Structure formats: C-alpha cells, structure tokens
Amino acid sequence: MWGWLFVSPMVVGLGLFMALPILMAAWVSLLNWDGQSNPFTPDADFVGLDNYRSLLAEEGLAQSLLATSLRNNVYYVLLTVPIQTALALTLAITVNQRMLRGRSMLRTTFYFPSVTSSIAVATVFLFLFQGSGAVNRMLSWIGIKGPNWFQDSRGVLWVLLDAVGIVDGRPDGALGEHRLMGLPWVEWLAGPSVAMCTLILLAVWTTSGTFMLIFLAALQNIPRELEEAAALDGAGRRHVLRHVYLPALRPVLFLVTTLGLIATWQVFDQVYVMGQGDPANSTLTPAFLSYSYGFDNAEFGQGAAISFILLGIVLVMTGIQRFLLRERGVRGQLRRRLATATARQPAADEGKEAHRAHN
Amino acid sequence: MFRRSTVAVTACAVLATTATACSSGFDKSKNGPEQDTGKKQSLRVLIATSGDAETKAVKSATAAWEKKSGHKVTVQIAKDMDQQLAQAFAGNRPPDAFYINSDQFANYAKGGSLHAYGDKIPDAEDFAPELRKAFTYNGELVCLPKDSSTLGLVISTEKWKEAGLTEKDYPTTWDELEKTADKLTEGKTTGLVTTNEYQRLGVFMKQAGGWITDSKESKMTADSKENAEGLGFAKKMLRSGSMKFAKQVDTGWAGEALGKGKAAMIIEGNWLDGAMKADFPDVGYKVLPLPAGPAGKGTLAFSNCWGVAKESTHQTAAIDMIRHLTSKKEQLASSDQIGVMPSRTSVMKTFAKEHPESKGWAEGNSYAQRPVTVPGFTKVLDQFNADLQGLATGSPAEILSTLQRNGEQALKKGD
C-alpha cells in the first residue's frame, strides 16, 4: 500500500500526460475529426479504420504523401543512426585516452553542438548551405561546384550514378511505371535527396556529442585491468576494441542505437525550420506530415492515424534491433559472464542486488 | 491482489473524471454561446501581420474604434496563424475576431467555427464580387474581405535602363515577355523571378484560358489543354534560364530578389510596396499589368477576411469593429500605410487616383481570378506547389493530371 502511495505522483503524472492522451489520440484516429467540436460525444463522426485505409490501402494523395514521407525517413534513419553511433564511439574512445592532452577541452567541444538549440543550429545550417553560402564557397576552392542544397530534390543515388555515367538523369522504364503505395520504384530507390542529406549531416553533428558522453561513461566503467590483461596477451588496439570494448559496451550500444532510432523516426523540428517538406516533399517526414494534416488541413483524425502508424514502425524497428543485438549463443554468454566476473570481483553482490531489484 | 485492484480502480476513476473535466470545455450549444450585451466588452483580436506597418495600422484603427464604442480591444500578433487558430478552435477559446487566410477559410467554415455575419452588413454589395464569392460558404457570405491585392509584373527601373530598354519595351504579350526576359538575363541578374507556387504560376494558366476548377468550384478542370499550355510556357522560360524561382537565386521571395538586384522583373502583388519601403527603400521599380496570354489578360486576386468566431460572446461588438475596420476611410488609410488595395469597389477610383504607381495592380481587379476555397484543398494545392518545384524537368500534363486526381478525391470527400 505504501509503495503505491509513494509512486502515485509518478503514476498519476504518467497516466494524465501520457497514457490518457495516447488513448484519446487512438480514439481520434478512428474519427473524421476537424478539431472544431468535441470528439468525445456520440455526435462524433466515427469512421472506423477509414483513416488508416486511406493512408495504407487506398490509392490517392494521402497514400502517396505517407509513402513519400516513409521513404524520406527510412533513408534518414539508415544513414543517421549508423553514422552518429560510429562517430560517437570514435569520439568517445579518442577522448578516453589517458595520454591525450587537453582532454576536457575536447570533450566540451564535442559535446557543444548537443547543448545548442536544434532550432538555432538548423537556422545556421540554412545559411551555410545556401546556393552561394559558405559550404559551396569552400567547395569551389577545390574546384567543385556545389548544388543548391536546400533546393535540390534529386535523390543522391541517381545523382551519383549520373555523375559516373551509369544512368542519364534518372532511370525510367519499368522502375518508373511500377508503383508501391502509389510511389514509383524509381522514387523509392532514389535515396535521400540532396536537401535531406544536409538534414542528416545536421542530425549527426548535433547528436553525436550526447552519445559520445554515454559511450564515455561506459568506457570509464571498463576496468583498466582488462585492457592491461589484453595488452599482456599481446592484443593490438584493434583487438582490444573488438574483444574488450565492444562486448563490454553492448548494453550501451543497444541504448544508443535505440535512442537514435526513436529520435530519427520522430524527426520534426529540423524539418519544420528548414523547409516544411520542401523541396518537392523530399524532406517530408511522417511526424511533420501528421502535424500538417492536423493543423494545416483540419484533419486531426488522419493526423492521429499517421502518428499511430509511426508508433508501430518504431516498435517493430526496436524489436528487430533488440533481436539483432541479443546475446548470441552459449559462447557469448560465457564470455560476457567471464568479463563481468573479472570486472566486478570486489563488488560481486552488487550484481545480485541489481538482479533482485529488477524482479 | 485486492489492494492492487482498488488502487487501479481509483486511478482510473481519477483519470476519467479529469478527462471529462477536460472535455467539458467543448460543450457547444447549437446556436453558439450566450451573448454579452454589456457596454464595456473586452475583445481579443488575432492577426497575422505582414510587418510593423500593418501592425501599427491595425492597432491605430482599433484604438479609434475603442474610443468610439467604449469597448476594449487586445490585438495579438500570431507567429503561426494556422496552428494558433486551429489550437484555439480545438481548445474552444478562439479570439473574437481574426484574419482568415483564403486557403484555410473553407476548413473553418465547414467545421462550423465561424459566425457568418454577411447578412448583417447592409452595404455588403459594395465589396468586390470576386472576393465575396471566395468567402461565401453554402450560399452565405461568411466574412468580409479586409482588403484586396492582385498580381502584376514589377520591373526594376535600373536594370531596365542598363539594358537600354525604354517604356516602349514594356512587355504586353507572352512573346514580348520571353524576349525581354532573355535580354535582361545577364550575369547574376535573372530576367524574371517568381516563386514555385500556383499562387504565382497560376497566372499563366489563367492567361491561357484555364484554371484549376470551374467558376463554381464544384468541378476540377485542372487537366485542360489551356492549363498545360500555360505551364508549358512557364517551363520553356525556366529551361531557357530567363526565368528562375526565388529560392534558386538564394532569396526567400521575389521581392527580395528585386531588392538585391538579382531579378529584373518579378510577379508580385500589392504587399510588395510595404516590404520594399521597409527593406529596400532605394530600389526603383515600376508596376505593370501582367502580359496577356493566348486568351487575353489574367491575374490572381488575394485577400484575407475578418472572421468572427461562433464561440465568441461578443459577436455584435466584433461585427461593429469589423465594419469600422473595413469602412471606406480605414481602407484608404491602410492602403496608404501598407500598399494593399481597398476591397470596396466604391473607393477603388479614389485609390487609383491617390496611388498612380499602383495602376498596374488596380487594373487587374477587373479580370482577376479569386483563390480556390474548397474544404480539404489545402493539401491538394500544397502537393501541386511541391510538383511545380520540378516544373523545369517535369511534364506539365503529368503535374496537372495529378492535381486533377487529387482534387477530385478531395471534392468527393468534401460533399
């Protein structure tokens, strides 16, 4: 009873501001609601799964907008998450070196983009990547004529293939005729647009600092003895990374990729600042599409349905990722147990405590 | 087990009560709320301003009305008008009077958030018929257009002189426009700059004799030959490089391109006057009527209207205030301050006399096309604008047939 009393502030808070709104939104996603009447009366226009049907199964504008936004976001996730994780890990290992001079200054520098407001950073990027902006001017020093970044809706795959002469412009024919969810294959395969690439760059730049911090904390938890033992065994730096750091970092790696995955699927603020889907819908994301359906088109039911589709995607993706990063086989478990056993010898019952608390 | 379920039930009960309490704000009586008839009412007005000049103009006009009527007015400036209004309607606490953008008008009217007050305006006939039609829903005039603007061809006098052109070279046909734009395109200057939206490029469709819908807005006519011809002309100019979109020359809109000398000609409306005065006071320009296409002259008309919320308790006072703000005197005053034209036909002559520099825009009033106001059309037209971005490489017929398809679907849903 006391337990419930103590947790009640949190339970009520979560219930009121998380669970209840989610349930309300789920109800709204089954309505044809324009945001200008009470959705919780019998008068509400209940349409069942119509909102989902027009998004997923019915040919039309709603479906092709959702398909476009999913295409954009898939490429955004596929590029952002691995790059930011790899970069964050590299940075963390770099600033974790005991021999490195000016460590704390470097740590601050790398972390700095993360504490800056993403709106401010996005605005600065707008100016940097203008057609005659700083980035293109720097590119011109080495003889490259940069694109007009935020106006370029071409997919980078076709741009690259065009540059090396494999395709001309963008391929037509079968790829252009056959469609999936109302979007021709040539669009699905195009890769992120040039404009989207700048958004990816921005996301990597701003978030890798935060993840560096998480990796750094975990790295400092790895006992020196392990590294020394590995060094005595004659392990090179690459081997230490592969056989000491990475296994020890596995839970943190899962945390970082999960956080990254969720954040990238929900990207909104940069899109809102940098063009609201422009150029030619190539930076449109489901989160922004949901907002735009609600507030610009007065179709809140449709908007809510999009956010539930997004929720489903995030859940599935996280599940897949959990499966991929699971402990593999007996060997992995054994190795892990050995590692923790050596690491935690002085505080052996700490693990037990944690285990009990978890139950 | 027992305890756990009691707690769960209590928690649910608490949540349910709060939920009902939250949603109780929505309870609307069918005819709107009871009206305040007091002598000293306090009105909230929400506007999306184009700049300091407009804010000042609205504030001084409402202040004058405060003195006359004895009521009090608070003018709020919206940062994101659509979002703020939608939130206010959903939260059931809308401002009493507010600007309504023509592309949102139909959504609000259909949702029943607007108090249609057209029948309470004795001289409603005086307002420009095209604009009245735009703000009519289900046969009722819902709100009064606050002003009017049309598009014209604006030329930079300096670039004109530099290229050795004279008044005789003012383009009056598509051919002349194309040739002049070619001549003016040089170095960092582009002959004609405009934005990639149907609110500008639509003039070519209109000049070719087409438009997005029929005149009653009940049928899509997007995939017509005329429209394809209009966009085809724009495409030809885009491909030759004598026409560019504002963002391609690193500017936010065509006015900025004109001010920065990146454009010799632009297609813009009356609001340009106020903006140029504020940002580029030294740049000389002249406004001409848009060149005629194969089907004659054509331009687009724009306006916001003064909406009154159905949920407002101060409707009578708000209507009275709007009548003051849209009176002949106030409209002419805001023309002087912001550059927009009056929406009353009876003062257009006075406006033309007082502002000979805006003749090119004023002339357009007689043949201007009103904006499309169909519920659910916002996303259809947004998609059209997104497609127009790729006009230089795309096919006009394909873009138009997508518009036709999407529009038909939205029309069907709107019924």
A16 reaches B (C-beta below 8 A) = yes
Contact criterion met (CB below 8 Å) for B163 and B183 = yes
Q: What is the pLDDT of residue B193?
A: 94
- Please, is B308 exposed, middle or buried when counting C-beta atoms within 10 Å of its C-beta (0-12, 13-18, 19+)? buried
Q: What is the pLDDT of residue B29?
A: 53
Q: Which DSSP symbol is given to A195?
A: H
| Contacts across the A-B interface (CB distance below 8 Å) | 108
Lowest mean pLDDT among A92-96, A144-148, A216-220: A144-148
A220-234 average pLDDT score: 86
| Listed residue (B327, B385, B179, B360) closest to A279, CA to CA | B385
When mean pLDDT is compared over A165-174, B45-54, B172-181, the highest value belongs to: B172-181
Alpha carbons B48 and B40: distance in angstroms, whole number: 26
Lowest mean pLDDT among A56-65, A290-299, A344-353: A344-353
Contacts of residues A181-186 at CB distance under 8 Å and 24 or more positions apart, as own/partner, are A181/A56, A181/A63, A181/A64, A181/A66, A181/A67, A181/A70, A182/A59, A182/A60, A182/A63, A182/A64, A182/A67, A183/A64, A183/A67, A183/A68, A183/A71, A186/A158
Cβ A280–B23 below 8 Å, yes or no?
Answer: no
| Listed residue (B319, B414, B344, B375) closest to B131, CA to CA | B344
Contact criterion met (CB below 8 Å) for A189 and A75 = no
Parts of chain B belonging to CATH 3.40.190.10:
42-148+303-369, 150-301+376-414
Q: What is the pLDDT of residue A226?
A: 86
Q: What is the pLDDT of residue A37?
A: 79
Cβ A38–B23 below 8 Å, yes or no?
Answer: yes
Please tell me the class of the B42-148+303-369 domain: alpha beta
CB atoms within 10 A of CB B158: 14
CB-nearest to A34 from B111, B378, B405 is: B111
pLDDT band of A224, cuts 50, 70, 90: confident
Residue B207 has pLDDT above 60, yes or no: yes
Best probe of the A interface among B6, B24, B26, B312, by most A CBs < 10 A, is B26
Residue B376 has pLDDT above 90, yes or no: no
pLDDT band of B2, cuts 50, 70, 90: very low
B16 reaches A (C-beta below 8 A) = no
Token couple for A351: 């693990």
Q: Cα separations (Å) of A41 from A37, A46, A248, B28, B351?
A: 9, 10, 54, 11, 51
| Listed residue (B309, B308, B312) closest to B325, CA to CA | B308
- Nearest-neighbour CA in chain A from B75: distance (Å): 22
B36-62 average pLDDT score: 85
**Which of chain B's residues have a Cβ under 8 Å away from the Cβ of A281?**
383, 386
- Nearest-neighbour CA in chain B from A61: distance (Å): 6
For A281, the closest chain B residue by CA position comes to B386
Residue predicted with more confidence, B206 or A236: B206
Q: Does domain B150-301+376-414 have CATH number 3.30.465.10?
A: no
Best probe of the B interface among A24, A31, A45, A61, by most B CBs < 10 A, is A61
Q: What is the pLDDT of residue B51?
A: 77
CB-nearest to A61 from B112, B383, B393 is: B383
Q: What is the pLDDT of residues B302-314, one digit of tens each?
A: 999 999 998 888 8
B110 reaches A (C-beta below 8 A) = yes
B111 reaches A (C-beta below 8 A) = yes
| Listed residue (B195, B200, B264, B263) closest to B230, CA to CA | B200
Q: What is the pLDDT of residue A103?
A: 83
| Listed residue (A199, A202, A323, A318) closest to A262, CA to CA | A318
Contact criterion met (CB below 8 Å) for A291 and A279 = no
Cβ B379–A40 below 8 Å, yes or no?
Answer: no
A15-40 average pLDDT score: 88
Q: What is the pLDDT of residue A71?
A: 93
Contact criterion met (CB below 8 Å) for A254 and A85 = no
A21 reaches B (C-beta below 8 A) = no
Residue B28 has pLDDT above 60, yes or no: no
Q: What is the pLDDT of residue B112?
A: 86
A160-180 average pLDDT score: 76
CB atoms within 10 A of CB A162: 15
B28 reaches A (C-beta below 8 A) = yes
- Nearest-neighbour CA in chain A from B360: distance (Å): 32
B389 reaches A (C-beta below 8 A) = yes
B211-223 average pLDDT score: 90
- Structural domains of chain A ordered from first start: 54-114+207-345 (1.10.3720.10)
Q: What is the pLDDT of residue A74?
A: 94
Residue A358 has pLDDT above 70, yes or no: no
Best probe of the A interface among B197, B378, B381, B402, by most A CBs < 10 A, is B378
Q: What is the pLDDT of residues B76-132, one digit of tens each?
A: 999 888 889 888 888 888 999 999 988 889 889 988 889 999 888 888 889 988 899
A235-256 average pLDDT score: 87
Residue whose entry in the numeric block shows the structure tokens 């996303």: B379
pLDDT band of A354, cuts 50, 70, 90: very low
Using H for helix, E for strand and C for coil, what is the string for B92-158? CCCCCEEEEEHHHHHHHHHHCCECCCHHHCCCHHHECHHHHHHCEECCEECCEECCEEEEEEEEEHH
Best probe of the B interface among A16, A47, A272, A297, by most B CBs < 10 A, is A297
**Which of chain A's residues have a Cβ under 8 Å away from the Cβ of B3?**
1, 4
Residue predicted with more confidence, B193 or A157: B193
Alpha carbons A121 and A123: distance in angstroms, whole number: 5
Cβ A296–B82 below 8 Å, yes or no?
Answer: yes
Alpha carbons A306 and A271: distance in angstroms, whole number: 17
Q: What is the pLDDT of residues A173-211, one digit of tens each?
A: 677 778 888 788 888 888 899 999 999 999 999 999 999
Q: Are strands B368-369 and B243-245 parallel, antiparallel or unpaired?
A: unpaired
pLDDT > 90 fraction of chain A, expressed in percent and rounded = 31
| Listed residue (A229, A231, A227) closest to A248, CA to CA | A227
- Nearest-neighbour CA in chain B from A154: distance (Å): 10
Best probe of the B interface among A14, A34, A123, by most B CBs < 10 A, is A34
Cβ A153–B389 below 8 Å, yes or no?
Answer: yes
Q: What is the pLDDT of residue A33?
A: 86
- Nearest-neighbour CA in chain A from B250: distance (Å): 6
Q: What is the pLDDT of residue B7?
A: 56
Residue B381 has pLDDT above 80, yes or no: yes
- Nearest-neighbour CA in chain B from A8: distance (Å): 9
Residue A348 has pLDDT above 50, yes or no: no
A299 reaches B (C-beta below 8 A) = yes
Angle among Cα A89, A93, A97 to the nearest 5 degrees reads 170
Q: Which residues does residue A180 pair with via DSSP β-bridges, in sequence order?
A: A183
Q: What is the pLDDT of residues B130-182, one digit of tens each?
A: 899 999 998 899 999 998 999 999 999 999 898 888 888 899 999 999 999 99
pLDDT band of B15, cuts 50, 70, 90: low
B331-335 average pLDDT score: 87
Q: What is the pLDDT of residue A304?
A: 94
- Nearest-neighbour CA in chain A from B380: distance (Å): 8
Q: What is the pLDDT of residue B5?
A: 62
pLDDT > 70 fraction of chain B, expressed in percent and rounded = 92
Lowest mean pLDDT among A67-81, A160-174, B307-321: A160-174
Token couple for B340: 């927009």
pLDDT band of A279, cuts 50, 70, 90: confident
Any idea of the CA torsion for B97, B101, B106, B109, to the nearest 10 degrees?
0
A132 reaches B (C-beta below 8 A) = yes
**Which of chain B's residues have a Cβ under 8 Å away from the Cβ of A268?**
none
Interface TM-score (ipTM) > 0.90: no
Residue B203 has pLDDT above 90, yes or no: yes
B106: Cβ contacts below 8 Å, ≥ 6 apart: B137, B373, B374, B375, B376, B377
A295 reaches B (C-beta below 8 A) = yes
For A294, the closest chain B residue by CA position comes to B86
**Which of chain B's residues have a Cβ under 8 Å away from the Cβ of A292?**
379, 382
Q: Cα separations (Å) of B192 from B93, B200, B243?
A: 45, 12, 5
**Which of chain B's residues have a Cβ under 8 Å away from the Cβ of A39?**
23
Question: Model-level pTM?
Answer: 0.82
Which parts of B208-252 fold into alpha helices (H)?
A: 225-240
**Which of chain A's residues have a Cβ under 8 Å away from the Cβ of B111?**
34-37, 298
Mean pLDDT over each residue of chain A, to the nearest integer: 84
Alpha carbons B145 and B273: distance in angstroms, whole number: 20
**Which of chain A's residues have a Cβ under 8 Å away from the Cβ of B383?**
61, 65, 281
A1 reaches B (C-beta below 8 A) = yes
A100-129 average pLDDT score: 86
| The dihedral sign for the CA sequence A279, A285, A291, A297 | positive
Q: What is the pLDDT of residue A338?
A: 56
| Listed residue (A57, A74, A317) closest to A187, CA to CA | A74
Q: What is the pLDDT of residue B82?
A: 87
